[in-house]
Structure formats: structure tokens, C-alpha cells
Amino acid sequence: MIKTRFAPSPTGLLHVGGLRTALYSYLFARQNKGEFVLRIEDTDQKRYVEGAVENLLRTLKWFGIEYDEGPYFQSKRTEIYKKHAEALLEKGHAYKCFCTEERLTKMREDQIAKKRAPMYDRACLKLTPEEIEKKISAEEPFVIRQKMPSGGTIKFKDLVRGDMEFDPKTVDDQVLIKSDGFPTYHLANVVDDHLMGITHVIRGEEWLPSTPKHIALYNAFGWNPPTFAHLPLLLNPDKTKLSKRQGDVAAEDYMIKGYLKEAIINFIALLGWNPGTTEEFFSLEDLIKKFSIERVQKAGAVFNLEKLDWLNGHYLRSKTPEDLAKLILPRLQTKWFEETAFADIEEKNFDDPDEKTIYFLKAVKTIQTRLKTLAEAPDMLKFFLIEEPPFDLALLLNEKMKVDKETATKALEESKKDLATLTEFTLQQVQETLTGTIKRLGLKNGQVLWPLRVALTGEQYSPGTFEVIESLGKERTMKRIDLCLDKLQ
């Protein structure tokens, strides 16, 4: 049976790269009727961040990435790793190292100065059993190091990169057990993958140089290694590695910003994977059917926010106004909203809407095509929901459009007069009526529609003036035109 795992370290919020690894591992397992395991690799206690595990579990749940086993915590399995380290010592595949940090630092500095790759010089491998016993009796701290094979080559087939080959002489003797008794990632990772029956390890490209160490450990234990797939790095548009220094990289950052989970999953899936068709929209169910690890690219994948915005816009537009309103409502808990007549609207109102709720839903529908993220919704909806939009004379008078005070006053008065004759306030009727007003006054479109836009919204940018008028309705439109005319006097 196929068995994959996601094994993050709780050192902060879940990175979008980690989310992609979790997604690909989950998809591969589901596609092959296998199992997906969650393991928390928390052996590095110095880097442990409070709340990171809770963030991880919350994020995976939000995205619908369900694990079949776990979460397992490596910090609770330390005795298992110590036992396996002892087995390596007995077989001669590991040794105790008593070198101080000072000696190791000087050794590395000397090697770098001689333009050599910094590697442990195996000084402690030369210690006799008597010398080792003496140091242990003196309670000198030590680590347990992996003894890499001295000959041959380490080969494996990577599902993304193809045939890989490493010379073990170029690979450092990795620390397996630290002086505090905790295992390093390398030992715990290999032991757990074997004991948990992991068949496929899908992880980031940054772990590729560690793979020969891991395969050497599998060989030392006499175990069959799993199949590896190393995913391409995530890159900024300038082709540098995606990192916190250049902006938001936590999956939660994008949740907070108002990106929909289906858009993020779709976007993350396409960061390195090509479906081989022109298709661009994939639900989680679609991905389970269509994802293929063989179609994952080797080259770095560019994290293009414009593509995410585009995908998110697509999913926002595909929502019903009711479903979109339910997503927007929690983001409207602001001071200005609490002071409006709409502050008491709840999700349950959308099932059997009263007049106020119908207007709210109409406003949501009007902004829907312009919306890139849910976070933009409160500002876009504000002018619909407040009683009176702000009056800005400098904005109303527009030299470029040839709108002076006299033109604005005339445009508003005549528009109001013509709109007042309408018995039905449909978009078509509003558009036809105001087109007639513009023609009758002998003005350009902007000389009439601009003063109306500013009078009705108080904003420089909004949906089209005809759409705004139709959404506001006759009563609100007339009232707002009157308010603006009063202030123009």
C-alpha cells in the first residue's frame, strides 16, 4: 500500500512551500488509495515555536487536507531513536564524537580558508575503546555521528529528477544524536519513515543533499529505502528563493488577506505541477483525479501573486451572492459597520431575506466582479451601507472631465428630474434615461456620470455609475443627490 507523510518542524507558521508539500503528499496518497500520515518533527527544542502545531493543524483542516494517521510527535519517541543509534554503534556504522564546538569551528574555518568544503575530519574515529571509555568516565559530552561509507556510490531514482548519484566521500559524517540526547532530523526521519511504513517521501529540493545520508542510514540498518520525490524551490518573481524577508510566506497570511481556500489550493497545486492541458481551474477533488508526480517540473516555480489574484477573482465570481455574503460578513465587524442599519444582519437572514437583507445582497452582487480578495469587500461595500457618503468638493469638481460647480449642479438636478419619472428602477431603464439626459444637456458622458458617481458614493473608484444607481435604488439615489446639491449651494 502507498503511504506518504507530511513531517514539518514546528518552528513557525506553516509556509506556503510546506503547504504544497502537504498537498502533493496528500494527493499522491489519495490518488493511489493509500494513506497519508502527519508527523511533527519537534526534536530541535531550541527552535520550537509556541502555537506552531496548533497553526499547522488549523491550516490543514481549513484546506481540507485530512491525514489518516497522527499527528505523531518525535519528541515523545526519543527512546526509539536512541535504541537505533546504539544499533548503529554496535554495527560500526556510527561513532561517538567528543570534539568541542571550539575545535569544530576552527576546523571549519581552516577548511574554508583552504577552499575546501567544510566536513568533519573524523578525529574521534581514531579514538581507541580505552580512550572512549576514559572520556565517558570523565563525563565529557559527546554526540553520535553517522559513519558514511568510504567507497562505492550512492544511487537512487528520484520521481522528479530521475537518476541521482552521489560520492559518499563528499558527504559529511552527520550528527545523529546530539549531546542533549535528542536525535537530529536525519536519524529520526529515517527511523520513523521505516517504522511507519512510508513508501514515498515527497519533500522540498532543499533536502536533496541530505538524501545520500539517509540512504546510507537505510543501508546501514538493512532496510529498503522509500521512493523519493524532491519538489522544486518556490521563487519570487525575481527568481530569488521565496523567504519571509520578501513578504508573506505563511499560508495563514493569505487566509487573513481574504483569499479563498479553493483558490489557494488551485494556485499552490500549479506551483511546479503542469496538468499537460490548458485547464487552469482545479478543485481538490479534481486534483486527486488528475495530479501526477511525474508532471512536476525540476526548475524552480515562480510564486506569482497576480496569478493568485486572478484565480481568487474567478472563485469569488463563481459564488452565489448569498454564499459570498456569508464569507464577507465576518470581515464587516468594523466601527463604521456597527453604526449602520445593517449591523444586525446575520447568516440566517440570507435564507429568507427581508427588504434590508435583499439590498445588502444586491450591494454584494454589485461589487462581486471587481473583488480580488475578501479583504477588499468592506471598503467596497461601505458607500452602499452608510447613511450618507462623504462630500468632497475637490473630488467632485474635475478639471480633466470639464466638471465645474455649475456643470455638476446642472448634471445632478437634471439627472434627478429624469430618474424621478421612472416607475421601475432597472439597470436598462437607468442607463437609457441617463443617456437621454446627457444627450439633452449636450454634455459629455463624464460631465454627468462623474458628478453622479461622486454624489452617490463619495469615492473616486466604484462600480459603474449605472450599476451603482440601480443597486442603491430610487429612494437612496434621490436622497444622496439632494444631499450633494445642498452642499453645493
CATH number of the domain to which 46 belongs: 3.40.50.620
Beta strand segments in 197-317, E = 200-204, 227-231, 234-235, 301-302
Last residue of a domain, one of 288, 316, 344: 316
User: 354 and 419: one domain?
Assistant: no
Predicted local distance difference test score (pLDDT) of residue 151:
87
Residue at 229 is within a domain: yes
For residue 489, name the pLDDT band (cuts at 50, 70, 90). Answer: confident
CATH number of the domain to which 460 belongs: 1.10.10.350
User: 56 and 191: one domain?
Assistant: yes
User: 62 and 91: one domain?
Assistant: no
CATH number of the domain to which 256 belongs: 1.10.1160.10
User: 153 and 88: one domain?
Assistant: yes
Residue at 258 is within a domain: yes
3-state secondary structure of 250: strand
**Structural domain span for residue 283:** 244-316
For residue 88, name the pLDDT band (cuts at 50, 70, 90). Answer: very high
Last residue of a domain, one of 297, 316, 335: 316
Residue 1 CB burial class (10 angstroms; 0-12, 13-18, ≥19) = exposed
Q: Where is 82: in which H helix or E strand?
A: helix 78-91
Predicted local distance difference test score (pLDDT) of residue 284:
97
Asked whether the beta carbons of 188 and 41 are under 8 A apart, the reply is yes
Instruction: Identify any residues that bridge with 398 across adjacent strands, giving them in sequence order.
Output: 403
pLDDT beyond 70 at 247: no
| Number of domains into which the chain is organized | 5
Last residue of a domain, one of 214, 234, 254: 234
Quickly list DSSP for 138-167. Answer: TT---EEEE---SSS-EEEEETTTEEEEE-
Residue at 127 is within a domain: yes
User: 282 and 351: one domain?
Assistant: no
Residue at 35 is within a domain: yes
**b or e along 287-302 (b: 16 or more beta carbons within 10 Å of the residue's beta carbon)?**
beebbebeebeeebbe
Q: What's the rounded Cα separation, in Å, for the pair 489 and 483?
A: 10
Cell of 164: 541521482
Residue 187 φ then ψ, to 5° = -70, -50
Residue at 207 is within a domain: yes
Residue at 239 is within a domain: no
Could you report the per-residue pLDDT of 116-142, keeping only the tens digit for each? 999 999 999 999 999 999 999 999 999
Active-site residue numbers? Answer: 244
> What residues have CB less than 8 Å from 261, skipping those under 6 apart?
62, 63, 64, 255
Average confidence score pLDDT of the chain: 95
pLDDT beyond 70 at 245: no
For residue 417, name the pLDDT band (cuts at 50, 70, 90). Answer: very high
For residue 246, name the pLDDT band (cuts at 50, 70, 90). Answer: low
User: 106 and 158: one domain?
Assistant: yes
Whether the pTM exceeds 0.85: the reply is yes
User: 107 and 168: one domain?
Assistant: yes
278-287 contact pairs (CB < 8 A, 24+): 280/311, 281/311, 281/314, 284/63, 284/64, 287/23, 287/27
Region 167-171: what's the mean pLDDT? 94
CATH number of the domain to which 145 belongs: 3.90.800.10
User: 376 and 412: one domain?
Assistant: no
Cell of 165: 548519484
Residue at 29 is within a domain: yes
pLDDT beyond 70 at 326: yes
User: 145 and 292: one domain?
Assistant: no
Could you report the per-residue pLDDT of 427-477, keeping only the tens digit for each? 999 999 999 999 999 999 999 999 999 999 999 999 999 999 999 999 999
pLDDT beyond 90 at 108: yes
User: 264 and 339: one domain?
Assistant: no
> What residues have CB less than 8 Å from 117, skipping those under 6 apart?
111, 170
Residue at 477 is within a domain: yes
User: 122 and 91: one domain?
Assistant: yes
Region 222-229: what's the mean pLDDT? 98
User: 336 and 474: one domain?
Assistant: no
Region 212-226: what's the mean pLDDT? 98
